[in-house]
Amino acid sequence: MTLNFPNVTDLATPFFVLAIALEMAWIFYEKRGGRYEAQDAMTSLFMGVGSVVSGLLVGFIAYWFFMALWAITPLDLGHAWWVIAICFVLDDLRYYWVHRFGHRIRWVWASHVNHHSSQHYNLTTALRQTWTGTFTLMMIVRAPLVLMGFHPAMIFFVGGLNLIYQFWIHTEAIDKCPRWFEAVMNTPSHHRVHHGRNARYLDANYAGVFIIWDRMFGTFVPEQRDEPVDYGLVHNIGTFNPLRVAFHEWVAIFKDWTQPGVTWYDRWNYAIKPPGWRHDGKGGSTEMLKRIDVKRNPEKAGTPGFEESRM
Amino acid sequence: MPLEVMASIVVVGLLAVYVMMRVMKFDQTLVLTDEAIARAEWGADNVTAPAQEVIVAQSGQAALVRSRRGWGVLWVMGLDATSHDLAGADVQAHPKGLILKFHDFAAPCVVLHLTPDEATAWRAQIEEGQQ
C-alpha cells in the first residue's frame, strides 16, 4: 500500500518565520519575554537550514531502513484516524527515549548538543537542529513502530507534527499555561527547564509533546520561580560558526579516541558514557555538578532536581 | 512544497529576520562593566573552578581570570560570554590588541580588544601563566 502524507515541517516554514518576527516584535515593544541577539539567532537559523539540507542528502538512509522493515513485517494497521493518533502517541514515547539517550550517551549527544549550544531561548533556538542525526543510528528506536504495522510514511508524518509542536515551546514570552495543560503537555515552562545549565535543571524534561513521560520515568523537574533558567551548555562553545556548532562534539570524540594511552575499551566508553566522562577519572558528570551545588547551597537538598536519586 | 518555493521563503525569511534584528538593535553586546560581572560569568561557565583573580579589559569585552586550573580568558560573545583555559594557547599581536588561538575546534580563536598598554601587560601575564 502506498500512503501519501504531507511534509508538514515544510508547510510550517512560513509560519515559523512569521512567529519569529512576532516574538521579536513582542520583546522589542514589551521589553520583556525573552532576549534576541543577532549572531546567535542567525546561527540558529543557519543550523535549521543545514538540518533541512542534511535531511535531503542523507534522509534516504532512514527511509530505506524503514521501508525494508515494512517489507518484512506481516502487520499493517492501515491509516484510520485512530491509528494515526496512536502512532503519534507512541512516536512521542519514542522521542522521549531518543532524547534521553541524546543527553546520556555521548555518541548521540554529539548530534544533539548543537540544539543546546545557544545561550538564548527563543523561537530561533527551536530551529537550531542537528545535521548529523542519521549517524547516531537512533532510527533503530523507531523500528518497533514499523514492525507493529505503522506505515513509515505515517511515522514520518507524526514525527513532523511532533517537531512542529516543539517549535512554539521555545519561548520565554509565555510564562505558564493552564494547570491541566501543564500537567499533561510539554510547555514553554517545562522546556525552559530542559535547556537550563543550572545544576538543578540538568538532564530533566526530555518530553517532546507529552510531559507525562517525564513524570512516569522520574525525569520531571518543574521550573522554579526563585531560580531563573541559565541557558546553554555547562561549558559554552566559543563560536557562532554553524559548521563548528554542528561538528564540534564529533571532533572532540575523535580527539579523545586518538589521545595517547587510551584502550579500545576507553574508546568505547568515550562513545557511550554520558558527556563529561573521562578515562582518567578526571571528568565531570551531572550528578557531580548537582552535588557541588548542594554542597554550596545546602538548603537545596531534596528540592526538585536535587532529590537523592539524582545525585 | 516545491524546492524553489521553500528556498525562496527561507532566503527572504532569513533576510527579514536579520533586518528586523538590526532595526530593533538586537545586535548589541554584553559589556563586562566590572569585576563582579566577569566573576559571575566565569563562575557560570566554570562551576568547578571559580574565579580567584580577575583582570577586566578596559573595553569590557574580555577578562583574564585565574582559577584553580590556572589562567583563563573570558570573552564576550554577543549578549553573553564564554571562557577558555590558556594552557596551550598561542598568543599573537593583533591590530585591536591580541589574538589567542586555542587549537580547539569548538573555540578556535578570540580577538581581545585591548589598549596598547593592556596588550603588553596581558601578553606578559598570559605567557607567564603558561610556564
Find, among A36, A44, A23, the residue nearest to A173 by Cα.
A23
Nearest to A222 by CA among A195, A245, A204: A204
The count of domains in chain A is 1
Does the residue A214 lie in any domain? no
Mean pLDDT of chain B: 95
Query: What pLDDT sits at residue A54?
Result: 96
A236 at interface of B, judged by CB pairs closer than 8 A: yes
Rounded to an integer, what distance in angstroms lies between the CA atom of residue A148 and that of residue A142? 10
Q: What percent of chain B has pLDDT over 70?
A: 100
User: Is it the case that residue B131 has pLDDT exceeding 90?
Assistant: no
- Nearest 5°: the CA angle A9, A95, A18 is 30
- The three cell numbers of residue B35 are 569585576
For B2, name the nearest residue in chain A, comparing CA atoms only: A10
**pLDDT recorded at residue A3:** 73
| Contact residues on chain A for B30, CB-CB shorter than 8 A | none
pLDDT averaged over 10-residue windows placed end to end, chain A, 311 residues: 82 94 97 96 97 94 96 97 98 98 98 98 98 97 98 97 98 98 98 98 98 98 97 98 98 98 98 97 95 97 96 89
How far away is chain A from the Cα of B128, in angstroms, using its nearest Cα? 24
CA B64 to chain centroid: 11
ipTM computed for the complex: 0.95
pLDDT of residue A262: 97
CA A166 – CA A164 distance, rounded (Å):
5
Which set of grid coordinates corresponds to residue A156?
A: 514520518
Q: What is the pLDDT of residue A72?
A: 98
| Residue A311 maps to a domain | no
The reply to whether A239 touches chain B by the CB within 8 Å rule is yes
B75 and A119: CB-CB below 8 Å? no
Total H helices, total E strands in chain A: 13, 0
- A149, part of any domain: yes
Residue B1 has what pLDDT? 77
A39 touches chain B (CB under 8 A): yes
Q: Chain A 71-110, CB below 8 Å of chain B: which residues?
A: none
pLDDT at residue B100, as a whole number: 98
pLDDT in tens, B78-112: 999 999 999 999 999 999 999 999 999 999 999 99
User: Which cell is A52 given?
Assistant: 533541512
- Specify if A87 maps to a domain: yes
Residue A265 CA to residue A175 CA, distance in Å, equals 46
Residues of the domain holding A91: 11-181
pLDDT value at position B6? Answer: 87
> Would you say residue B40 has pLDDT above 60?
yes
Domains of chain B, residue spans: 1-28, 35-130
Mutate: best of B9, B18, B22, B79, partner A, most A CBs <10 A: B79
Q: What is the pLDDT of residue B2?
A: 82
Q: pLDDT at position A2, please?
A: 65
Select from B17, B28, B77 the Cβ nearest to the Cβ of A238. Answer: B77
- What confidence score (pLDDT) does residue B3 get? 83
